[in-house]
Chains A and B, each alone.
Chain A
Amino acid sequence: MTDQFEPVIIGFTCNWCSYRAADLAGTARIKYPPNVRLIRLMCSGRLDPTFVLKALSEGADGVLIAGCHPGECHYLEQNYKALRRHRLMQRTLAQFGIEPERVRLTWASAAEGAKFAEDITEMVEQVRKLGPLNWPANLPTKPVPVGMVAAEIPVLSEEVA
């Protein structure tokens, strides 16, 4: 192992497209860097912005959000809601002093294992360049309560209207 910075990225995927793309990348033995750890949601629309903040505050250097392509959402249009939230999250994070590129939104259909692997590779390189976020070290020493829900972060609740 070299001294190169290895970022840790949390990836949120949807059950129908992007998680399957990740499965397909596996079945096809397509290689990508091991820096991304995936979480399955039913839909990218399920992504509560709290999840992103939680991941960054727990030590992730970046967050990848992957849904079905626009127009191909299993739930008709909920990936558009993820798109809206992503825009808002990027603006909010910028105000926190966090580079918006640390939270990336991408689309991958169930057939796009290779594309998803490419997206991951690209994002890992991008976050590697940005360097460690190291948010936990800058947090107050008080423990973050487990099971913190959206309501406790009022700044993020406005976008849903």
Chain B
Amino acid sequence: MTDKTQQERAGEERIGVYVCHCGSNIAGVVNVEAVAKFAAEDLKDRGVVLARDYTFMCSVAGQELIEQDIHEQGLTRVVVAACSPHLHEKTFRNVCERSGINPYLSEMASIREHVAWVHTDKAAATAKAKAIVNGAVERVLKNEPLEAIRVPIDAATLVVGGGIAGLQAALEVAEAGYDVYLIEREASLGGHMAQFDKTFPTLDCAACILTPKMAAVGSHARIHLFTWSEVEKVEGFVGNYTVTVKKKPRYVDEDVCTGCGICVEKCPVMVVDENFEAGIGYRKAIYWPFAQAVPNLPVLDPDTCTYFIGGKGGCKACEIFCPTVPNSILFDQKEERVSLKVGNIILATGWDLFNARRIPQYGYGRLANVFTSLELERMCNAAGPTSGRVVLRDGQTAPKAVGIVHCVGSRDRNYNGYCSAICCMQSLKLAHLVKERTGAEVYNFYIDIRTPGKEYDEFYLRVMDEGVHFVRGKVAEVSDVPIAPSEEGGKLYVQVEDTLAGLQRRIPVDMVVLSAGLEPRHDSAEVGKTFGIACSTNGWFIEKHAKMDPIATMTEGVFVAGCAQGPKDIPASVSQGAAAAARVLSHIRQGELALEPIRASVLEEQCSGCRICNGLCPFNAISFVAERKVSEINAALCQGCGTCVAACPAGAIQGSGFSNEQVLAQIEGLLRDVAQPVTREPVTA
């Protein structure tokens, strides 16, 4: 803090104001010339020595303009009125730094997102833009030169989720030579992709392309696997996170078990597998999710195991037949907690399937031969419960006619407004597989066909050529009740408005497949909170920028990949996984990272030792120093929220970057046009 008045400081500072047109984005609504003129003339007494408007301030030429002015006009502070600081604050800070001014002596005035894009009244928008520029000029006068805080980056990386996106991310980081902790909630890696039969549009076998990646991850010396585990707590900040992982008991000794499978074979309990087999297959009480599971270790489900249900008595077949010495079955295994130190985190937690029971008129769960797309995936899969045969719920009869309903739970205001992105192609693939395996008539009921990927539309044409029928219209109902004399019992009737033909149709089929949409994980909000990131209104993790940075999040050092960020297909998930890894590797290679120097500090001579601030800090950064009777802030723990700054009754806590002086000055500037002259200092240049 300095003792200079605002007026004295304005007198010796030389501020340059730059008003960006952003093409017509800003200039179309705000009179940018008038704003620049206002800054140059009306704010002359506030230290503004020049003001310019320019088409694109962020362009190389725009940046050079500022650099040149700093050198030739001796600017000491810079205000750029343009887009949101979340986009280009760094750009203009860098310009300042390159030109020899402390980067924190610049300020952005957001006149695009907060003015031009949200207002239509040009006069009012221009007036508001002037006020915002005025606020930024007053604020920049109060900015103090700051030094970025440099933090070392721990090279170990946490990847959460062992689906295709997480696998790719883990492999990329590990291949570069750094340790990766891969946390998977389920018993095996693989995620949803492991459940599929073929992948569109190439019809590659999903397992054939996925399992080599799983094996590579499972055997990689740098990748430390934690399956059947969840992240419980995350503390710290970029470069230096401490993560607590909860290892659920699998009742199998990971170090001893050889994965021979005798326990699974001998277990007498059969239960419906609601998880991997999507409810159409069985598993044992001790089981692998699937044959190629990585790690190759079974897991015991205490909720269905006879021994556990019986209050730990009886059965024990698994233990009795286990051939290893010592025995691999550990009935007394307890939950474990492991603490990991990592520098960066990649979240690839995937998606949940829309629950088709929520649309009662489609009959899922009520009509036997209504299936979800995931059930059909399992049915088509040669390793699935029907060994690849497409059959009705009786397990024997092949369908002669199949209806595939698109957009179930997607693009529907009653459920999810968004497009799930993959269901059109998945439905086309399933149509092809059903046709190939049963020769049945296949009807696709669609709203629009969306095939915007490499060779996707070609695949659509191919499926059409194969004789699959396409009916454009949203299905109203699936019914098993014949309503006309010509209709026979034992069929399913799909009631649909054919919007191309302009008539109602009622199509009899044997099997209906609901192409259920993708939903965020049911606990995505909770998981987001654990990692300090937010979810969109739909529940997907919010990226830093929807277009320019769909990989990072607002929390430094936490990245997102795959469907956790939004519905996407396999190639997009793989790309994003690799991209997230690239970002992490960039952090690791830099060795240390510069963080915003927004921290609180106590001016000891002003601190009365009242300790009001002590209890306000959620990061326990403030402590009381008994000898000196003052409070002290640990800069390493402080996150810069500023709550203590606001609370200190003596004004003894300084919040760098957002000081009282800066905010109060900004308020004055923002209100200069409405404030009465009595509240302002006399203006003399």
Interface residues of A (CB under 8 A from B): 1, 6, 8, 10, 16-17, 19-20, 22-23, 25-27, 29-34, 37-43, 45-51, 54-55, 57-60, 68, 71-72, 74-78, 81, 85, 109-112, 117, 136-137, 139, 141, 143-144, 146-152, 154, 157, 160-161
Contact = CB atoms under 8 A, between A and B. Distances in A.
Contact of B678 (A32, A33, A60, A143): A143
Contact of A146 (B135, B618, B664): B664
Given A144-B679, A147-B660, A151-B650, 6 more contacts: A29-B117, A43-B642, A45-B646, A59-B674, A110-B542, A151-B651
B679 A57 contact: yes
A46 B532 CA distance: 19
B618 A77 contact: yes
B598 interface: yes
B666 A46 contact: no
Nearest to B542: A110
B534 A59 contact: no
B123 interface: yes
Contacts of B205: none
B454 interface: no
A46 B655 contact: yes
B534 A30 contact: no
A151 B377 CA distance: 67
Given A46-B645, A139-B678, A148-B664, A26 B114 contact: yes
A51 B664 contact: yes
A59 B675 contact: yes
9 contacts: A26-B118, A48-B646, A49-B646, A59-B674, A72-B534, A74-B554, A81-B616, A111-B536, A111-B537
B641 A45 contact: yes
A48 B152 CA distance: 33
B639 interface: yes
Given A46-B642, A146-B681, A37 B535 contact: no
Interface stretch (B64-72, B124-132, B387-395, B397-405): B124-132
B667 A51 contact: yes
A77 B674 CA distance: 35
Contact of A55 (B125, B639, B667): B667
A136 B678 contact: yes
Contacts of B86: 19-20, 23
A74 B598 CA distance: 14
Given A34-B125, A110-B534, A81 B679 contact: no
A111 B132 contact: no
A50 B664 contact: yes
Interface string B572-585: 00000000000000
Contacts of A46: 641-643, 645-646, 655, 658
B88 interface: no
Contact of B113 (A26, A48, A76, A112): A26
A17 B535 CA distance: 11
A77 to B, nearest CB: 5
B680 interface: yes
A1 B126 CA distance: 14
Contact of B676 (A27, A40, A137): A137
B666 A160 contact: no
B671 A8 contact: yes
A78 B641 contact: yes
Contacts of B661: 147
Nearest to A12: B663
B113 A45 contact: no
B554 A16 contact: yes
B665 A146 contact: yes
B144 interface: no
B647 interface: yes
Contacts of B679: 57-59, 136, 139, 143-144
A30 B116 CA distance: 11
Contacts of B120: 31
4 smallest A-B Cβ distances: which pairs?
A26-B113, A46-B642, A45-B643, A157-B649
Interface in B591-618: 598, 612, 616, 618
A146 B667 CA distance: 11
A55 B534 contact: no
Contacts of A26: 84, 112-114, 116-118
B115 interface: yes
B643 A43 contact: yes
Nearest to A152: B651
A38 B674 CA distance: 15
A40 B85 contact: yes
Contacts of A45: 616, 641-643, 646
A46 B135 CA distance: 18
